Structure 1
Amino acid sequence: MTTRLDLMMRDPTLVRNFCMLAHVDHGKTTLSDILIATNGYISQGLAGKLRFMDSREDEQIRQITMKVSSIVLQYEQEGKRYLLNLLDSPGHIDFSSEVSTAVRLCDGGIVLVDAIDGVGIQTQVVLQQAFREKVKMCLVINKVDLLFTTLKLSPQEAYETLASIIAGVNVVMSSLVNAEQIEKAGLGTDGDEDNEEEVDTDDWFMPHKGNVVFGSAIHGWGFSIEDFARVWAEKLKCNPKALTRALWGEHYLEMVKGKDPRIVKKPPKPGALPMFVKFCMEPIAQMYDVIYTNPDEAKRDSMIEKLKLANIRKNDLRSREPEVIVRAVLSAWLPLARAVMTLVTSHIKPPNVQQKARLPALFPELCDKKQQGSEFHRRLRADMERGDADSEFLVAYVGKMYEVDSTGIFMEGEKKEEQLLAFTRVFCGTLR
């Protein structure tokens, strides 16, 4: 019997293969919990506490991820139901080989960066590994809540911190691009059209393009520029796309009585705030202020009413713990899972598209001009580029082997014993 899951797997346009990449303790496993909770594997209350993907006893004891683990999730967006294959990878430098396995198996990656610590050593390592494998990367800046609750930054200072982090990540990406171009020039391949790729340098991650999410995994909230642009475009009666471009960087809103609001590049008056600060950072900072810094139940309830947040449990609002209240309110207002899953489906390409871009890294022999005259190589390359499940060839990459208890794997009556289970990515053909 063909299930809905089988049908989704047969349509590569509805599949996304991605992994979590970050420095240790930047929040990968907590974010994974948030995504997993949307599919009912764990409760929303346990998300961020259970560390569901850390299935080994030593991982739970040490509170760090040591091995790659995977799970299949579903997400519906604009009438389409997507199949998301998520891999959680370690952040500790001692387990870098596990990260290499994760990026080889995936088409995209979510790079997490701590808003307090910024770009760490392992952040640079995972960026390099992902870049070499030609996976499509998106950026999530986590722990933004700490900018307000721990560092006590103003919305303007928080914006400057976030901008500095994005610039730092883009510097790393720019250095990787430059190093690759120098290497190609040294090898005399810079004229090879098959090996040349169009890449951004300074602007690798750009919030106004929608490939950056800001949020807090521990409090369950997150947003992209587009989320706020949709809300404010309606109120300001302006074009959502134009507002999306203006919500990041030094752009200001000029309000003149009797005229429509106008976006300008210079402060219209002393003390004017950039639009990202005014429309994104200030509302979040105000919510933390009335819940954390200067608790004010009346102001809090007024903000909740204005935001029309009707799906908050009354018991959560009655809690004496600010953590419980802020998580209930902000996760209802700006759900992190929705922001990240939309990021994945919108900016990470499906395997039948991304495999073509990755082929020079995955199988350089197929991209060698000397081999292009071979009919065998032409057919194999074409099938791999489109991820053809009906291909006459079977190309698979075995990333890991696990020793597992065979209980539940074999049919009734078959011999049960310890078996090796292969963690495999099929690039074309069907594994039977």
Structure 2
Amino acid sequence: MVNFTIDQIRDLMDKPTNIRNMSVIAHVDHGKSTLTDSLVSKAGIIANAKAGDMRFTDTRDDEKERGITIKSTAISMYFELEKEDVASIKQKTNGNEFLINLIDSPGHVDFSSEVTAALRVTDGALVVVDCVEGVCVQTETVLRQSLGERIKPVVVINKVDRALLELQMDKESLYQSFQRTVESVNVIISTYHDDALGDVQVYPDQGTVAFGSGLHGWCFTLRQFAARYSKKFGVDKEKMMAKLWGDNYFNPATKKWTTKGVDESGKPLDRAFNMFVLDPIFKIFDAIINHKKEALFPMLQKLDIKLLQDEKDLEGKALLKVVMRKFLPAGDSLLEMIVINLPSPATAQRYRVETLYEGPMDDESAIGIRDCDPKGPLVLYVSKMVPTSDKGRFYAFGRVFSGTVKSGPKIRIQGPNYLPGKKEDLFVKSIQRTVLMMGRYIEPIEDCPAGNIVGLVGIDQFLLKSGTLTSSETAHNMKVMRFSVSPVVQVAVEVKNAADLPKLVEGLKRLSKSDPCVQAWIAETGEHIVAGAGELHLEICLKDLQDDHAGVPLKISDPVVPYRETVKAESSMVALSKSQNKHNRLYVKAMPLDDEVTKAIEDGKVNPRDDFKARARVLADEYGWDVTDARKIWCFGPDTTGPNLLVDATKGVQYLNEIKDSCIAAFQWATK
């Protein structure tokens, strides 16, 4: 039974301090969707018994068949925190009811553009790490991306049941493995440290690391155990949490705490984490797996776990699932960790506005974003398009950063190439409907205030993949998302039946809308080319194209990977070219750019849209350029934003502007 109504969610939308926008990120197959099930079942959207097997956020058929997430899926949930835990929240709150907007994202490297789109609209991330495999390549990539967007992480160490049942680890080696995993995550976090975000390293004794098993549906942070033991020891919860991790030992004979691993007579002592946290879990596992039911029931009584009659007759893993879910329910501990440790939009937008907004930090839109003000000018960023059940139409999926979005009034739809004051890449239209995304369902709502994630109907034909919606004429764009993968694998597609060509062209347009990373264009040879991030990504895109977007049988060529050239050293001679009438001579030479400069261009620190004097100052001060050269950068290439520069190095030549456009066009062709 769903334990909230859409009206309750709509009421909470007006309290930005009580909203948490978060995404679930991890390496492929570390258990994101399975863990998300525990959260979804806590909100009553799916039955408890099915959580872990159902993978509610994997909505497509091919996701179910392959067992991987392909598209990121959003879902909104209502959660009530215990009244005494509200005091642990270090930011402003209003009551104990919370709205959690969760986005489950794919882990496969081919789909990391979906992760980027999910991260842009969230403020916190739940990083899932497999306790057996530890931190993997993709874990590092997604963590780096999230820290670059100034998103605060909390960590879940998943699949603990495997360590117990398959690897049969003892308590101390399990503790050591947890500690190594937490350290590896913290190394990555400190490598990409950002002063504005502050220290976001994760520590189990501060409740920012959870341990559990998504498949079995149990999970805990030290906060739950500290709550159990703090009454017994008569100390407060925070002190108890600090004792339950690290080199803290309890001597049961003298009832004293110590930081030495041995007692006075030299006998080794048990670490507090092993004794108070792992011991009850190990005992339950042992009693159930080795069929010692007579030992199990007194233990459950002590832990205050009540089983129904038919649950008592279960055996093995089925019984283990039921008992562990009642002992340490995953939904409670994860939602508690999310609510207490992740920032609300009101907190996060203060420090995220600089990385999000392109314009000056003192204009009305930037101030609206910083204050997360529902009455300010509208600023909404559309990060991706989600196909609707109505063929060929899309919901624009994004987040309101300032103002309130509703159907009716006309708003400005600014594409990625829009410049303030110009008319290109700009439409002024009204939104038909606003909807709430709920996994595989949608719920209509009247309007949506700042700080929330929303779907919009009726503007898909004015945007390609992403864009900014504003109500203010002076508003700049939100910064374009930087993807960590680029579409490098290409195939040519053609129709089997020539009469279907218009359908293919239409289908390709829809395909490039539906995926943040895929690109489709017509080559010089007249072939239709589709490019994706990898073979799996392409395979899925082509299946979508054939079945949904175009709906016609296609012939597909073998995949090709394009080659690229680069400049390794300054050219030894100056190339000369004369114009047709022999009156003009053009001299060109190529030289490599500093790695730091290319990185600065890719990160957006040096931007083609910056004021040329300000840009020259940065290049001269930080990268040792000559100021006159830096002021005479004609263009960036390819696509006017790439890390290749065309610099005019002439002195005292007249009428240069007459050939500037032609030179720029030639440079763009050459760098493509």
Task: Please tell me whether the aligned partners of residues 101 and 399 of structure 1 are also in contact (alpha carbons under 8 angstroms).
Answer: yes
Query: Which residue in 1 is equivalent to 2:293?
Result: 297
Choose from 10, 24, 27 the match for 1:6. Answer: 10
Q: Structure 2: how far apart are the matches of 1:51 and 1:37? A: 11
Task: Please tell me whether the aligned partners of residues 214 and 224 of structure 1 are also in contact (alpha carbons under 8 angstroms).
Answer: yes
CA offsets per residue over residues 155-190 of structure 1, 9 Å max, x none? Answer: 11111110111011111112222xx6xxxxxxxxxx
Choose from 113, 131, 137 the match for 2:147. Answer: 131
Q: Structure 2: how far apart are the matches of 1:351 and 1:307? A: 38
Q: CA deviation at 1:240?
A: 2.4
Structure 2 residue runs of 5 or longer lacking an equivalent are: 1-5, 84-95, 407-672
Query: Which residue in 2 is equivalent to 1:428?
Result: 402
The correspondence of residues 211-222 of structure 1 with structure 2, limited to 5 A, is 211-222=208-219
Q: Structure 1: how far apart are the matches of 2:339 and 2:387? A: 33
Q: Structure 2: how far apart are the matches of 1:41 and 1:332? A: 18
Choose from 314, 321, 327 the match for 1:319. Answer: 314
Query: Which residue in 2 is equivalent to 1:91?
Result: 107
Choose from 60, 75, 82 the match for 1:71. Answer: 75
Are 1:339 and 2:333 an aligned pair?
Answer: yes
Q: Structure 2: how far apart are the matches of 1:150 and 1:176? A: 35
Partner AA of 1:225 in structure 2? L
Are 1:362 and 2:360 an aligned pair?
Answer: no
Partner AA of 1:280 in structure 2? V
Please give the secondary structure, in 2, of the residue aligned with 1:327.
Answer: helix
Task: Please tell me whether the aligned partners of residues 214 and 223 of structure 1 are also in contact (alpha carbons under 8 angstroms).
Answer: yes
Query: Which residue in 2 is equivalent to 1:185?
Result: none
Query: Which residue in 2 is equivalent to 1:100?
Result: 116
Q: Structure 2: how far apart are the matches of 1:314 and 1:217? A: 25
Out of 230-239 and 323-332, give the one that drifted further. 230-239
- Cα pair distance change 1:238/1:405, threshold 3 Å: closer
The correspondence of residues 192-271 of structure 1 with structure 2, limited to 5 A, is 196-197=195-196, 199-200=198-199, 204-255=201-252, 257=254, 261-269=255-263, 270-271=267-268
Q: CA deviation at 1:138?
A: 0.4
Choose from 159, 167, 179 the match for 1:143. Answer: 159
Query: Which residue in 1 is equivalent to 2:368?
Result: 383
Q: CA deviation at 1:345?
A: 0.6
Ranges of 4+ aligned residues in structure 1 off by more than 3 Å:
254-257, 364-367
Partner AA of 2:196 in structure 1? E
Q: CA deviation at 1:364?
A: 4.9
Partner AA of 1:62 in structure 2? R
Please give the secondary structure, in 1, of the residue aligned with 2:192.
Answer: helix
Task: Please tell me whether the aligned partners of residues 356 and 385 of structure 1 are also in contact (alpha carbons under 8 angstroms).
Answer: yes
- Cα pair distance change 1:325/1:363, threshold 3 Å: same
Out of 163-172 and 358-367, give the one that drifted further. 358-367
Choose from 168, 180, 194 the match for 1:152. Answer: 168
Please give the secondary structure, in 1, of the residue aligned with 2:44.
Answer: coil
Higher RCO, 1 vs 2 (CA within 8 Å, ≥6 residues apart): 1
Q: Give the length in aligned residue pairs.
A: 386
Q: Structure 2: how far apart are the matches of 1:256 and 1:151? A: 32
Q: Structure 2: how far apart are the matches of 1:168 and 1:365? A: 37
Q: CA deviation at 1:45?
A: 1.2
Q: CA deviation at 1:295?
A: 2.0
Partner AA of 1:309 in structure 2? I
Please give the secondary structure, in 2, of the residue aligned with 1:295.
Answer: coil
CA offsets per residue over residues 26-64 of structure 1, 9 Å max, x none? Answer: 111001111111222211111111111111111111000
Partner AA of 1:402 in structure 2? V
Which of the pair has more CA radius of gyration? 2
Query: Which residue in 2 is equivalent to 1:27?
Result: 31
Q: CA deviation at 1:265?
A: 1.1
Identity across the alignment (%)? 32
Choose from 33, 41, 44 the match for 2:45. Answer: 41
Partner AA of 2:122 in structure 1? C
Partner AA of 2:317 in structure 1? E
Q: CA deviation at 1:394?
A: 1.1
Are 1:402 and 2:386 an aligned pair?
Answer: yes
Query: Which residue in 2 is equivalent to 1:170?
Result: 186
Q: Structure 2: how far apart are the matches of 1:156 and 1:96? A: 36
CA offsets per residue over residues 302-358 of structure 1, 9 Å max, x none? Answer: 111111112x333223123x1111111011011110000001110111101111121
Are 1:306 and 2:288 an aligned pair?
Answer: no
Q: Structure 2: how far apart are the matches of 1:332 and 1:345? A: 21
Q: Structure 2: how far apart are the matches of 1:40 and 1:227? A: 22
TM-score by length of 2: 0.56
- Cα pair distance change 1:142/1:365, threshold 3 Å: same
Over the aligned positions, Cα root-mean-square deviation in angstroms equals 1.6
Are 1:275 and 2:291 an aligned pair?
Answer: no
Q: Structure 1: how far apart are the matches of 2:313 and 2:61? A: 36
Q: Structure 1: how far apart are the matches of 2:268 and 2:53? A: 41
Task: Please tell me whether the aligned partners of residues 135 and 185 of structure 2 are also in contact (alpha carbons under 8 angstroms).
Answer: yes
CA offsets per residue over residues 243-277 of structure 1, 9 Å max, x none? Answer: 111111011123454xxx33221124222111111
Task: Please tell me whether the aligned partners of residues 197 and 351 of structure 2 are also in contact (alpha carbons under 8 angstroms).
Answer: no
Task: Please tell me whether the aligned partners of residues 150 and 197 of structure 2 are also in contact (alpha carbons under 8 angstroms).
Answer: no
CA offsets per residue over residues 49-93 of structure 1, 9 Å max, x none? Answer: 111111111111100000010111111013522111110000000
Query: Which residue in 2 is equivalent to 1:349?
Result: 343
TM-score by length of 1: 0.86
Q: Structure 2: how far apart are the matches of 1:19 and 1:156? A: 32
Q: Which has the higher helix share?
A: 1
Q: Structure 2: how far apart are the matches of 1:160 and 1:403? A: 46
Partner AA of 2:123 in structure 1? D
